[in-house]
Amino acid sequence: MMLLLWLTILGCAINNAAAQSGNVRCEAKSSKESGLCIPIRECPYFFDILNGGQPTPAQRQQLADSQCGVVNERQALVERILICCPDSKRSIQGTPARSAEAQTEAGNVLPSSNGSCGWVFADRIYGGTATKLDEFPWMALLQYKKPNNKFGFHCGGALINSRYVLTAGHCLANSQVSQLGWQLNSVRLGEWNTSTAPDCVTELGSGKRTCAPAHLDIEVEQRIIHELYVADSRDRLHDIALLRLKRTVSYTDYVHPICLPLANDMRNRDYEGYAMDIAGWGVTENGTPSSVKLTTTVDVWELERCQQKYRAYPINLNSSQMCAGGNGKMDTCQGDSGGPLMLRTHEGMQEIYFAVGVTSFGPNPCGQQDWPGVYTRVGYFINWIQQKLQP
Ligand SMILES: *[C@@H]1O[C@H](CO)[C@@H](O)[C@H](O)[C@H]1NC(C)=O
Ligand SMILES: *[C@@H]1O[C@H](CO)[C@@H](O)[C@H](O)[C@H]1NC(C)=O
């Protein structure tokens, strides 16, 4: 903790502006090695030194010399440090080479976190709250067909293997949706800006233009809602569902599954006090406020405190649910209903994302101070998920 504080304070003194401008080239003070100024978590070389506990004086010096700024909007201290990650160290070491067309598994197999799910790219940069083109490649949009033959996105989800998308029960069983005559039609994968096709970005510095392949719209073969989910219930217990796609998807840099918390310790953890990422287009039953995929960080609440807040309504939450967000920065508005609450963690040198929650409900309007969003706790439903998957 001491080291983190010291680094952060130093960072403020050096350069706070770097945080705002995103993709910034930098040079380490003593070694003069050039690199990219990125969050320390995204630079495994330095992150592991920091995480190793007792850096040597030389390592401390190297960390100090390489710090290039600080991001203030990230909450956990370690999230705020920007480091000049040398080009020579930015390739992923000690992990199997990752190819875009990674092998897909059968529909009844969940990828393991040392395999092909939850990958984060080494070059990923945050620019404000809009995501990079290839960030969170498991994010799915559920497309509904309306009686006037128009289509709309009204829920989100997460790709969990080559054939299934995890979403919320209320996205499929909901009287508001069925009274309006909306029919779930397909799942969109590989989307970034819903107003453009294809999606392209131009790098700030070099002017280099990168385009993603066209998004995929895949029809839904089967809708699997948790048997104990009660449509329109106040408490939204068991608010979880799976969608089986009509065909297997191939993985690319833009279409890729997220990991599920399969290990026992991850499954049973309540994650209270953890910082989580949410991402999406902010879609709800009422529309799609953002055309571009957004992301933000939320903190997980103590369940008991959250239960107390909601009890007056009267909404009774239990430990199959979890609460996060509500610090009044419109944070809960940036995820999608049915979309994942994501834990970013480390497996060796590789950063991995896990879907630990499914967005269930929140205060209306969203983003109210002191009112957290409620999520279905995925760990509680791993057995259910595994039972439902078919090859
Ligand atoms: C998304 O696409 C629309 C329409 O082409 C465009 O006006 C908008 O600027 C795009 N958003 C971003 C962040 O690129
Ligand atoms: C939560 O409540 C529901 C409904 O009473 C019950 O089926 C479920 O087992 C409870 N879960 C936990 C973890 O207490």
- pLDDT tens digit string along 275-322? 999 988 887 666 667 888 888 888 999 999 999 999 988 999 999 999
Q: With bands split at pLDDT 50, 70 and 90, how would you rate the model's confidence at 45?
A: confident
Burial classification of residue 104, based on how many CB atoms lie within 10 Å of its CB (0-12 exposed, 13-18 middle, 19 or more buried): middle
Distance CA 169, CA 385 (A): 13
**Residue 135 Cα, ligand 1 centroid: separation in angstroms?**
17
Per-residue pLDDT, averaged over 51-73, amounts to: 74
Q: For domain 129-388, give its CATH number from 1.10.760.10, 2.40.10.10, 3.30.1360.10, 3.40.50.80.
A: 2.40.10.10
Position of tokens 């419109």?
330
Any atom of ligand 2 within 6 Å of the Cβ of 319: yes
Nearest ligand to the CA atom of 376:
2
For 319: left if phi > 0, alpha if psi spans -120 to 50, otherwise beta; the answer is alpha
Q: With bands split at pLDDT 50, 70 and 90, how would you rate the model's confidence at 5?
A: very low
3-state secondary structure of 134: coil
Nearest ligand to the CA atom of 200:
1
3-state secondary structure of 377: strand
Residue 288: name the closest of 330, 243, 232, 333 by CA.
333
- Top mean pLDDT of 55-69, 125-139, 171-185 is at 171-185
Distance CA 84, CA 66 (A): 5
Q: With bands split at pLDDT 50, 70 and 90, how would you rate the model's confidence at 172?
A: very high
Q: Do 18 and 68 touch, CB atoms closer than 8 A?
A: yes
pLDDT digits (tens, 9 = 90+) for 114-171: 767 887 653 333 333 677 788 899 999 999 998 888 898 989 999 999 999 999 999 9
- Give the torsion through C-alpha atoms of 205, 89, 16, 21, to 10 deg: 20
Distance CA 363, CA 346 (A): 32
3-state secondary structure of 140: strand
Give the pLDDT score at 281: 87
Which residue among the candidates 239, 253, 299, 331 is catalytic per the annotation?
239
Residue 121: name the closest of 108, 109, 133 by CA.
133
Give the pLDDT score at 219: 97
Position of tokens 């950063």?
351
- Give the torsion through C-alpha atoms of 247, 292, 138, 168, to 10 deg: -80
Give the pLDDT score at 122: 35
Distance CA 37, CA 54 (A): 24
Distance CA 351, CA 336 (A): 23
3-state secondary structure of 386: helix
Q: Is 195 a catalytic residue?
A: no
Any atom of ligand 2 within 6 Å of the Cβ of 320: yes
Residue with more model confidence, 175 or 184: 184
Residue with more model confidence, 323 or 332: 323
The residue extents of the domains of the chain are: 2-89, 129-388
Position of tokens 């008991």?
304
pLDDT digits (tens, 9 = 90+) for 202-261: 877 777 788 888 999 999 999 999 999 999 898 999 999 999 999 999 998 899 999 999
pTM score, two decimals?
0.74
Retrieve residue 359's tokens. 């967005």
Retrieve residue 174's tokens. 């909901």
pLDDT digits (tens, 9 = 90+) for 330-387: 555 667 889 999 999 877 667 899 999 999 988 776 667 788 999 999 999 999 999 9
Residue with more model confidence, 44 or 75: 44
Retrieve residue 137's tokens. 């490649």
Residue 187: name the closest of 147, 154, 230, 235 by CA.
154
Q: What percentage of the chain carries pLDDT values higher than 90?
A: 41
List beta partners, residue 347: 350
DSSP 353: E
Per-residue pLDDT, averaged over 25-35, amounts to: 80
Distance CA 307, CA 132 (A): 35
Any atom of ligand 1 within 6 Å of the Cβ of 175: no
**Residue 318 Cα, ligand 2 centroid: separation in angstroms?**
6
Q: Is 170 a catalytic residue?
A: yes
Any atom of ligand 1 within 6 Å of the Cβ of 72: no
DSSP output for 211-271: EPPPPEEEEEEEEEE-TT--TT-SS-TT--EEEEESSPPPP-SSS-PPB---SHHHHH---
Q: Do 128 and 117 touch, CB atoms closer than 8 A?
A: no
Distance CA 93, CA 73 (A): 29
User: Phi/psi at 188 (nearest 5 deg)?
Assistant: -100, 130
Give the pLDDT score at 128: 35
Q: Do 281 and 153 touch, CB atoms closer than 8 A?
A: yes
Distance CA 357, CA 142 (A): 18
